[in-house]
Amino acid sequence: MECDMQLGTATSDGVLIGRNPDEDIIFSHLKDDTRELLDAETENVQKEKRKKKKLKTKGKKKKPQPTTASCSDSLLAGQPFANTEIRKEFGISTAQKSLKKKRKRTLGAESEDDAGKKKKKPQRPNYFVSIPITNPKIVRGIEAIQDVIIQKDHRFSKAMIPAGTLHVTLLVTYLGNEEVSMAVCAMTEMKDTLLDILQKTELVLPFHGIGHFRSEVAFVQMAEGEHVTTLTKIAETLKKRFEEKGILVTDSKAFKPHLTFMKLSKAPKLRSQGIKKLDPKLYENFEHHKFGEERVARLDLCSMQKKKQPNGYYHCETSIDFGEKHVAEPDDAELVSLSKRLVENAVLKAVQQYLEETQLNKHRHADVSPSKTEENLNDNEHRK
């Protein structure tokens, strides 16, 4: 419209008079040519700009978009308080610093509010209640199976449980300095309760066969029977009494009595050597072996970290002894029969000794000279 108005003529009254038809044709051709030229030039300019952009993007990484903090810093740069010292003096801070402070404050508020709600992580166990293995037959059997495994692969020697520390675990827990005395008190108080569970009978634990946990821990199995029920009841009583004292029992797994003799966690270097599981062939000859019976005489509260005793067993804070006291007292008939057996054994032993001495004297009289016979007689008289 502006081009058409400029090319037209105006009268003295200000009225715009249009061009003649010939002029319109000429001007239309001119407009088309100029448009084509302008379009071509704009296309060329746009192409060159695209090429330049491509070259720039290939050689350079994309610049991060300016954040609110950087924008504010750039704006402040031209102001008289752009210096950091002046900012501090007038209490002016950037948006980024204020955001960090806000975050710290919110985090601190959350930690203070939720401090009571968050649960403490359970500490690593350092104490346990156990039944020590004192039967030499069981100890010899376990030493035999350990020797066989080591002969097959000597690298397993560090994974073995020492014979002096063999035990059946009833409870595992963490005890601080103050909690140790609490645990000792708990065990002392529950002695009568444990005697009631035993009902004045002897608790005998038979061990038979081999088992494992995830092929990482090998143990001698405890044969099934009423003794397992009694032992489970004792373990549950211990756990309940400890929890009543405020002591957290860390072992949440179902109670399964066993006698561990080997575990890979004692030798962590085996994993780097490619040994992650125990091959059942290592102990296949003992899968049905009867190791013997353990007559329970006491329960021990043992420390995992304190120095062991001279005999190799763990340091004991306290023990519950009920080996002889829980056996039923014999009646009069049993006492009489027992005394008879003792007398008979003594008589038989004396008779056997007399017969041996007489036979020896006969051989001496037959083989020695008269002078030696006199010496023997004198010796006999002296003995009398």
The larger pLDDT score, comparing residue 119 to residue 141, is at: 141
**CA dihedral for 105, 106, 110, 111, sign (positive or negative):** negative
Highest mean pLDDT (candidates 109-118, 214-223, 373-382): 214-223
* pLDDT of res. 150: 95
* Cα distance between the two ends of the chain: 159
For the segment 185-204, the average pLDDT, to the nearest whole number, is 90
- pLDDT above 80: residue 57: no
* pLDDT of res. 112: 45
For the segment 169-173, the average pLDDT, to the nearest whole number, is 94
Which tokens is 153 given? 């692969």
pTM of the predicted structure, to 2 decimals: 0.55
Helix and strand counts by DSSP (H, E) for the chain: 12, 10
pLDDT digits (tens, 9 = 90+) for 320-366: 997 654 334 444 555 565 566 666 666 666 767 777 777 777 666 66
With cut-offs at 50, 70 and 90, classify the pLDDT of residue 120: low
3-state class (DSSP) for residue 280: helix
* pLDDT of res. 377: 44
Pairing of strands 298-303, 315-321: antiparallel
CA distance 325 to 313: 24
* pLDDT of res. 304: 94
- pLDDT above 70: residue 141: yes
- pLDDT above 50: residue 373: no
Q: Taking all residues of the chain, what is their mean pLDDT, rounded to a whole number?
A: 75
- pLDDT above 60: residue 101: no
CA distance 124 to 127: 10
- In the chain, what percentage of residues exceed pLDDT 90? 44
- pLDDT above 70: residue 312: yes
* pLDDT of res. 322: 79
Lowest mean per-residue pLDDT among 36-50, 232-246, 319-333:
319-333
The larger pLDDT score, comparing residue 61 to residue 185, is at: 185
